Structure 1
């Protein structure tokens, strides 16, 4: 797994550790803080030890920079300069009443293509003209700035810029995050990608990656859509780079060089789970053996935030003040903006990129892959008829009910009741706290569960839209590795309208040995999904049952080498040394290089050919094909 979110890097469980920091042993706390300081460019490690951002040696970055790291990760006051004084750039419509004609001087290229009625233009020179505006009403847009109504955000750790780590040329932020996230995933796997892909039929690899909204910053569709009204010129990159499936396209073209299956399923807040489901289905059907699954969302833009604020979904400043009965919000107040299952007023916008590498079990054993867990299935159901498209409905009862039934069938009733927990969608809206808790409580009741632990990590890292379930999955894998469930630190008290009879909420990290976790998503529009993720220990038991002890012991022996390679990558990453895999213009192929036969196509650079012998379940009308 790999990626980045407001808590830090996904690999090595760095981001997870940030959410349970105070419960970790001292050495792991130090390692986490040092790694975050390096990520944030506050410090870097070389052969001469640690240096600060000015190159001066420092003895203990974990203690020296601790407060700075803590204050500039997770949810906090939005640090984007556009959200600072004097305010968000804007325009205000106005009508100027001109009592008499007015003369102005303009550059020739600034003249409208279609001159308004009554304008008189006189050339001054090759570059400038004089325009006489007639008396009367003149409609104009006056430059303005607006005080941001929403100042809380869950941005990537301060100082971290994924685009600065590779040869990015006007890439939307989400795509730069995808490059980093996928590269982090490959590095942390301990596997050499080129060696791996040479062992496979090229068609046995797939990439399913996207996001929920597309790239809507200025380098993508955001800049394109406002180009005419803002007077800016649209670029040749904005249209293609804005597509929602572009993270998959970027990985195929510049990271993996894959010619296998590709695409993205967009489903609002459930998008990561939708893509995960595509990968699972492909592997279970035998179509693919390796699938990279992920999302990359960068929705912290003025326009997107205003859109969600207008629909009443965000924790805006006015609502936070009313909630806490204060007149001024401090930095500490913004850090507590997201309060799942407590008295709350809306979610906090976040950005994140999350990727996981899926394999079939036989290949994972053969390679000695370090197996972090297993995902047997993802269940998806719609809400049916509803009053409002953004309102919750009944689909989540079905998805979680199916997921619970699967765990009961696989692991037994005792495991379901005592060794599972819920990774809630937990957005921090009043509607979510009521409806999602009712889903949880009713499914718990149906299965005889009395105290079902609930984790809600958006309290730390906000709502990254399509990547939210990826954040939850990464956190679940961290819980398996460390035996800790993150608490909900902003939960002063469970709200009165939360259904909590059979649920267990807690504010601080809890020790818990889990066999499985339920990754829940309740997306806008009725995009409900629940994924089941099994612990590494349970996964190993299933592998032993299916493949036998000899195969499992051989896998463990190979795994030592893979783990050593992964550890080497993580050690460099913790020191602030990153080298994202970005192979622009390398090994580019076109049709003439292919060796095309009736039954196969051989692609230069791949040891194995693509088989053209496809399954035909439909029968044949061709007499030659009948016996």
Structure 2
């Protein structure tokens, strides 16, 4: 009997805000919320952005003036909306109109030699053969150069890409914990994984007390590693910039650190860890590993996610040179105007010209169904399967191929085996990769259309959340997951609001790509998360709605045991709501246990029961059977 991997916690931060409590999703569908939910969402974002705060007397502005939720909407609503989702890259990253670079130049002397004074300690080693140095004093020298001199001159130029999916304006992850020398992606990993763990509503120590120490798994990675100053970026630039490598830049740059930090500083886990990378499908690669380990019984709790911070001139240069990003000049050409709207740079399935890069950190917490029932965990959905397939022989490493046809069809077939044909035809939806490139809109829609025809689907709802938050690379399908959970909760599918119409070359006869928020009459039982990555990294996940999972649990455990579980779940929901309310008010209680609770290795004990670790209620079992018994 396979264990069902159920989603008991989720959290993170992206351009739409905080994912736990469905707040980022609510930002996406804010036009469809009632007054209370809309104002609460705006207030939560206003706190994140440092515009209002919650004190002993309630909501107030920074001067201490009391505010109602209606006041916050009236005074800060427009600013909050404009300061979230995709927008013009802010100066906290770099000046898109004046990006620093170095221009090579050759200085030729007017006569035979050129002379200049410089500090002695700045002389190159060894001296160039055409340099003659005369000491002026203890600090300065006169340099005479015969012939030409090659130099690099500080210059500034316009960045052709001017928009990105950025965290809400004014929100700084370093305000939530001691992030000294942490690259931004690791900052996102810490606050996002902590948000997911806090969202469970069950103390982590209580969870661990019910399982063996090695039955926890953390599966996380990123694609671009950490390329900013505190990671590989600073490491690789140090020699060229005349600087020195720090002791942290090399280890903190590794792409596995977004898993390692979760183990070391949030969970204190001694269980399984993995960092699977599959380009833009990396979240689903990690999710598949977690699902396989839970269904097989190797793991009982899994924290799965990604964190990426690629809004850097060098990364943008790389993707822009490939022609993959939506640049200002290409947007101008599409719109037939010299003015562009940076908030509409990502246009999945519309007339588009490239994707919009974004930062994001997203994590989900999975448990096997038995543990979730025992603990009274709140179940937000379940992952019944994830499929990964490559493209075969390729001419271009970046071009799409047939692998995604396989992953998508298998994901739909796996859900059909559980739910039946009617549910697939009437109560399923697709979260498209929807990268906003001309090639993607054709190739991905063709896959959906072909699958729809085979499975008898005539009006398949398709969402593309990159229209809101951009393309965050490794967490891109995790952004989709958060939106799917939001649809399960609120019944609303976010529309592709950045396009005026679906492009003519999209295979849309059997698809419904709404331009505004859409509420299916019968609700959604299953969502298919689709992801396509450079190199032939294709993946599709099948995610079941909580109402489906509850039916499955009632059948497996019986009505009486399920009702008992529901009673235990009330306490969990109360605790989760308390965390959500505190986070709305700005108290995220970020978990970061640096050097706390370290295990004294001298007190590790081996006995007949297994390996006993100080601080853990249960041992690590050594009762490992022979998997190859038939061969012995």
Q: Return the TM-score normalized by structure 2.
A: 0.95
Q: Which residue of 2 aligns with 1:471?
A: 479
1:54 Cα deviation after fit: 4.3
1:118 Cα deviation after fit: 2.5
1:146 Cα deviation after fit: 1.1
| Structure 1 segment 411-450 matched on structure 2, within 5 A | 411-450=419-458
Q: Given the alignment, which residue of 484, 501, 510 partners 2:509?
A: 501
1:56 Cα deviation after fit: 4.0
1:116 Cα deviation after fit: 1.2
Q: Which whole-Å deviations, capped at 9, do the CAs of 1:143-188 have from their partners, x for residues lacking one? A: 0011111001110100111122101111000100111001111111
Q: Which whole-Å deviations, capped at 9, do the CAs of 1:428-476 have from their partners, x for residues lacking one? A: 0000000000000000011111110110111111100010000000000
Q: Distance in 1 between matches of 2:281 and 2:93?
A: 29
Q: Distance in 2 between matches of 1:241 and 1:280?
A: 28
* Counterparts in 2 of 1:55 and 1:120: CA distance versus 1, 3 Å: farther
**Structure 1 range deviating more: 40-49 or 431-440:** 40-49
Q: Given the alignment, which residue of 133, 146, 164 partners 1:121?
A: 133
Query: Is residue 383 from structure 1 mapped to residue 391 from structure 2 by the alignment?
Result: yes
Q: Distance in 2 between matches of 1:129 and 1:90?
A: 28
| Structure 1 segment 103-118 matched on structure 2, within 5 A | 103-118=115-130
Equivalent pairs, count: 618
1:573 Cα deviation after fit: 0.5
Q: Which whole-Å deviations, capped at 9, do the CAs of 1:320-371 have from their partners, x for residues lacking one? A: 1111111233xxx111111111110000001111100000000000000010
| Structure 1 segment 511-522 matched on structure 2, within 5 A | 511-512=519-520, 513-522=523-532
Q: Distance in 2 between matches of 1:129 and 1:10?
A: 57
Q: Which residue of 2 aligns with 1:461?
A: 469
Look up the SS of the partner of 2:290 in the other structure: helix
Q: Which residue of 1 aligns with 2:237?
A: 226
1:496 Cα deviation after fit: 1.4
Q: Which residue of 1 aligns with 2:6?
A: none
* Counterparts in 2 of 1:335 and 1:86: CA distance versus 1, 3 Å: closer
Query: Is residue 596 from structure 1 mapped to residue 603 from structure 2 by the alignment?
Result: no
Look up the SS of the partner of 1:130 in the other structure: strand
RMSD: 1.5
Q: Do 2:93 and 2:312's aligned partners in 1 also have CA atoms closer than 8 Å?
A: no
Q: Do 1:372 and 1:536's aligned partners in 2 also have CA atoms closer than 8 Å?
A: yes
Query: Is residue 314 from structure 1 mapped to residue 325 from structure 2 by the alignment?
Result: yes
Q: Do 1:97 and 1:135's aligned partners in 2 also have CA atoms closer than 8 Å?
A: no
Q: Given the alignment, which residue of 511, 517, 538 partners 1:528?
A: 538
Q: Given the alignment, which residue of 20, 31, 40 partners 1:31?
A: 40
Q: Which residue of 2 aligns with 1:209?
A: 220
Q: Distance in 1 between matches of 2:206 and 2:184?
A: 30
**Structure 1 range deviating more: 105-114 or 247-256:** 105-114
Q: Distance in 2 between matches of 1:460 and 1:53?
A: 29
1:613 Cα deviation after fit: 2.3
Q: Given the alignment, which residue of 558, 564, 568 partners 1:558?
A: 568
| Structure 1 segment 82-101 matched on structure 2, within 5 A | 83-84=94-95, 87-98=98-109, 99-101=111-113
Q: Distance in 1 between matches of 2:163 and 2:380?
A: 33
1:601 Cα deviation after fit: 1.5
Q: Distance in 2 between matches of 1:407 and 1:556?
A: 26
Q: Do 1:269 and 1:466's aligned partners in 2 also have CA atoms closer than 8 Å?
A: yes
Look up the SS of the partner of 2:480 in the other structure: helix
Query: Is residue 346 from structure 1 mapped to residue 354 from structure 2 by the alignment?
Result: yes
Q: Which residue of 2 aligns with 1:452?
A: 460
* Counterparts in 2 of 1:56 and 1:104: CA distance versus 1, 3 Å: farther
**Alignment gaps of 5+ in structure 1:** none
* Counterparts in 2 of 1:406 and 1:110: CA distance versus 1, 3 Å: same
Look up the SS of the partner of 1:359 in the other structure: strand
* Counterparts in 2 of 1:307 and 1:55: CA distance versus 1, 3 Å: farther
Q: Distance in 2 between matches of 1:78 and 1:413?
A: 45
Look up the SS of the partner of 1:465 in the other structure: coil
Q: Distance in 2 between matches of 1:390 and 1:345?
A: 16
Q: Distance in 2 between matches of 1:440 and 1:615?
A: 44
1:100 Cα deviation after fit: 4.2
Q: Do 2:97 and 2:159's aligned partners in 1 also have CA atoms closer than 8 Å?
A: no
* Counterparts in 2 of 1:541 and 1:297: CA distance versus 1, 3 Å: same
Q: Do 1:83 and 1:148's aligned partners in 2 also have CA atoms closer than 8 Å?
A: no
Q: Do 2:381 and 2:485's aligned partners in 1 also have CA atoms closer than 8 Å?
A: yes
Q: Do 1:216 and 1:299's aligned partners in 2 also have CA atoms closer than 8 Å?
A: yes
**Alignment gaps of 5+ in structure 2:** 1-9
| Structure 1 segment 134-213 matched on structure 2, within 5 A | 134-213=145-224
